[in-house]
Amino acid sequence: MASSVPSKILVIGATGVIGKYITTAILAAKPRLSSLSHISILTSPGTASNPAKQALLSSWKSQGLTVITGDINSADDVRKAYKDVDTVVSCLGRTGLLEQIELLRLAEESDSVQWFFPSEYGTDIEYDETSKDEKPHQNKLKVRKFIRENVKKVKITYVVTGPYADMFLEYKPGAEAAGGYDWKKKKAVLIGEGDDRIGFTTMPDVGKFVAAALASPQASQGRILRVQSFVRTQSDILAEFEKQTASKFEIKYTSKAELRETEKRLWDEGNPLATGFTLRRIWSDGKTLYEKTDNERLGVKPDDLEPLSAVVERAVMGKGY
Ligand SMILES: NC(=O)c1ccc[n+]([C@@H]2O[C@H](COP(=O)([O-])OP(=O)(O)OC[C@H]3O[C@@H](n4cnc5c(N)ncnc54)[C@H](OP(=O)(O)O)[C@@H]3O)[C@@H](O)[C@H]2O)c1
């Protein structure tokens, strides 16, 4: 069985922020994935007809991808999309995470689905004993609990990437104190002293890791894969910006105590910006660091991955993600 999958892959949430990179990387890896015969995506009618998404969808279709339009909340639509598919890669956004429980139930029920990647691609939600209490982790933890208790037939692979380097660079409007870099105004806000080591994955590399996991079912099925492009500090990122822009930045620091206070206040107020503060606290507290990642298990070598300089260059050039 292991050598025959993935044969037909269905991506859900393919045109989303990270789904775009994952789908593009799977298409790019097609020639190297000898078992792979077909890639399809299940997308909502709104996205399928969205003018802003047409260039991407057309480019994928020209590479042989099939676009299936439907509603992930309709069991009939999902069953149709699952027909003959052996591998499902879910890239659903945060608000759609719990919808995966029904998608997994339908996968268990289907005759064809053998392998499922739940939407993770982020912070390690089971890093240590404190992880279970972190508010942003709760829905992903519920999905993992459902899987542990109910999914028997379908093999699962979780791809844990830590923060996306590309997104980490940016200030979130209204949440500047959580840290970030404004390379136009040459300003930066760093957490603590700016010297905490953080494991990052760039967004194109998230796609590469998922494609590598698909290419090695024996190494990746039934596993939580912890992968990353590089480990750097916020000061390293600042130095890279200063080098590439040949300028000195004005720096502000948010102490860890201030970060925690603001985090608590925002959660108490029900402010959605709270999530970003919690995640940055977790990342600054070293909870992206491992003795050894699973990069090697997947056959991904340092040269296959992007360096920090590539991400900073994209930012300075104004190329979004
Ligand atoms: N590590 C990091 O720094 C980081 C950053 C951001 C996200 N993430 C993780 O990456 C994963 C994907 O997040 P994303 O930001 O890429 O997702 P997103 O862009 O918000 O959404 C992806 C797609 O999910 C589909 N979807 C359908 N129903 C949905 C619903 N009820 N709620 C939300 N989405 C729904 C939509 O597909 P259609 O368009 O086809 O309808 C949408 O395009 C999540 O697990 C998230 O936690 C990690």
2-161+201-229+289-301: CATH number:
3.40.50.720
Residue 1 pLDDT: 42
Q: 249 with 194: CB under 8 angstroms?
A: no
Ligand 1 lined by 64 (C-beta under 6 Å): no
Tell me which of 20, 80, 132, 140 is the catalytic residue. Answer: 140
Contact criterion met (CB below 8 Å) for 167 and 206: no
Residues spanned by CATH 3.40.50.720 within the chain? Answer: 2-161+201-229+289-301
Cα-based distances in Å from 45 to 106, 229, 318:
21, 35, 31
Is 140 an active-site residue?
A: yes
**What pLDDT does residue 3 have?**
45
> From the CA of 243, how far away is ligand 1's center (Å)?
34
Ligand 1 pocket residue status of 95, Cβ below 6 Å: yes
Q: What is the DSSP string of 216-243?
A: -HHHHTTEEEE--SEEE-HHHHHHHHHH
Q: Which tens digits make up the pLDDT trace of 248-298?
A: 999 999 999 999 999 999 999 999 999 999 999 999 999 999 999 999 999
Both tokens of 230, joined, read 């590089």
Task: Give the confidence band of 58 by pLDDT, cuts at 50, 70, 90.
Answer: very high
Within the chain, where are the H helices?
A: 19-29, 45-48, 54-62, 75-82, 99-109, 138-150, 165-168, 203-215, 217-220, 234-245, 256-269, 274-284, 308-316
What pLDDT is attached to residue 91? 98
Share of the chain above pLDDT 70, in %: 99
Provide the residue type at 83 as one letter: K
Q: How far apart are CA 124 and CA 137, in angstroms?
A: 9
